[in-house]
Amino acid sequence: MACISPDGKPTESGSKMLRALQAGLKSPEEISSEAGLPLFRVRSGLRELTEAGLAKQRDDRYELSEKGAELIK
Amino acid sequence: MEEVKEQTGHMPRIGEPAPAFEAVTTHGKLKLEDFKGSWLILFSHPADFTPVCTTEFIAFTEIYPELQKRGVELLGLSVDSVSSHIAWVRNVEEKTKVKIPFPIIADLNKEVSLAYGMIHPGQSKTETVRCVFIIDPNQIIRTILYYPLTTGRNMDEILRIVDALQTTDKNAVATPANWRPGDMVVVPPPNTQEMAEERLKQGYECTDWYLCKKKL
């Protein structure tokens, strides 16, 4: 897992992505630009964050889940 | 024949869609589709902790900023484990101060190697040879290079090919032998006699009707 450590906590890149989602719905391209991560890393990271229940997909955009929001408080 | 196919897998061709994959890498699980919209250089190396491969990874890292300026991502591959890749990358950084910034596929089950024809049993039945696949933003294979195990790749040529492909796509031209950015480009050959006659009046530098060059 590149975005979530084995202990369930987000890695540095995972945290960057979650923080980028704090302001609301974002496209992978917007997250890439805000988090300073390559787009391919963001796309794969969003899959992980979604599977872990930390982010939610709505159409082509993503937002924080309650669990994700709680984690980066 | 079947035995050979089992050992070599599919041999992709220029102009075909790049075979899809999902693979474990040093940057997590990546799919080919994650790179959609970017150019991608997928390249294989025979094994971690080997001398020629180490020089190549340092060289790929050196050209990575130039590739990024051109919208190109790099993705390495060998049949080693992800732990081996991580140990090798850390060793390269410790010994040479070069940090490998791009992901490397750990293709232990050879799924990607076989899909891309990276194993050439005449060279090695277990290791991948030095392949380079240049894949465009629509995920079409645009260039394939194969180097033997003993010959390290030429980074200038890889950059030159990227420049040539991007120039071709942008301007609908071709590039002559040994072309470099800034050199004259080849105007596509005419399809009709009328076009052949017209092009001689268009101010191109023509050796004859079928070989005309222009400055961009």
Could you read off the pLDDT of A32-65 as tens digits, one per residue? 999 999 999 999 999 999 999 999 999 999 999 9
Domain B172-214 has CATH 3.30.1020.10: yes
Q: Is B35 on the interface with A (CB under 8 A)?
A: yes
**From the list B30, B38, B73, which residue is nearest A44 (CB)?**
B30
**What is the rounded CA–CA span in Å between residue B113 and residue B78?**
8
Q: Is B160 on the interface with A (CB under 8 A)?
A: no
**From the list A38, A39, A44, which residue is nearest B29 (CB)?**
A44
* Domains assigned to chain A: 12-71 (1.10.10.10)
Could you read off the pLDDT of B68-119 as tens digits, one per residue? 999 999 999 999 999 999 999 999 999 999 999 999 999 999 999 999 999 9
Could you read off the pLDDT of A19-35 as tens digits, one per residue? 999 989 999 999 999 99
**What's residue B6's pLDDT?**
60
**What is the rounded CA–CA span in Å between residue B201 and residue B128?**
51
Of B102, B114, B78, B94, the C-alpha closest to B26 is B102
**What is the rounded CA–CA span in Å between residue B52 and residue B148?**
11
CB half-sphere exposure, B134, CA atoms < 13 A? 19
Inter-chain touch B28–A45, beta carbons under 8 Å: yes
* CATH architecture under which domain B2-153 falls: 3-Layer(aba) Sandwich (3.40)
| Domain coordinates in residue numbering, chain B | 2-153, 172-214
**From the list B28, B31, B33, which residue is nearest A48 (CB)?**
B28
Residues of A at the B interface (Cβ-Cβ below 8 Å)?
1-3, 38-41, 43-45, 47-48
Per-residue pLDDT of chain B (216 residues; tens, 9 = 90+): 455 556 667 789 999 999 999 999 999 999 999 999 999 999 999 999 999 999 999 999 999 999 999 999 999 999 999 999 999 999 999 999 999 999 999 999 999 999 999 999 988 888 999 999 999 999 999 999 999 999 999 999 999 999 999 999 999 999 999 999 999 999 998 889 998 888 888 889 999 889 999 999
Q: Is the dihedral of CA B192, B193, B196, B198 positive or negative?
A: negative
Side chain identity at B56, as an amino acid letter? E
Q: Is B101 on the interface with A (CB under 8 A)?
A: no
pLDDT beyond 90 at A9: no
**What's residue B3's pLDDT?**
53
**What's residue A65's pLDDT?**
94
| Three-state SS annotation for chain A | CCCECCCCCECHHHHHHHHHHHHCCECHHHHHHHHCCCHHHHHHHHHHHHHCCCEEEECCEEEECHHHHHHCC
> In the annotation, is B53 catalytic?
yes
**What's residue B1's pLDDT?**
45
Closest residue of A to B30, CA-based? A44
Region at B46 (left for phi over 0; alpha for psi -120 to 50; beta for the rest): alpha
Inter-chain touch B73–A3, beta carbons under 8 Å: no
Could you tell me the two tokens for B116? 């891309």
**What's residue B8's pLDDT?**
65
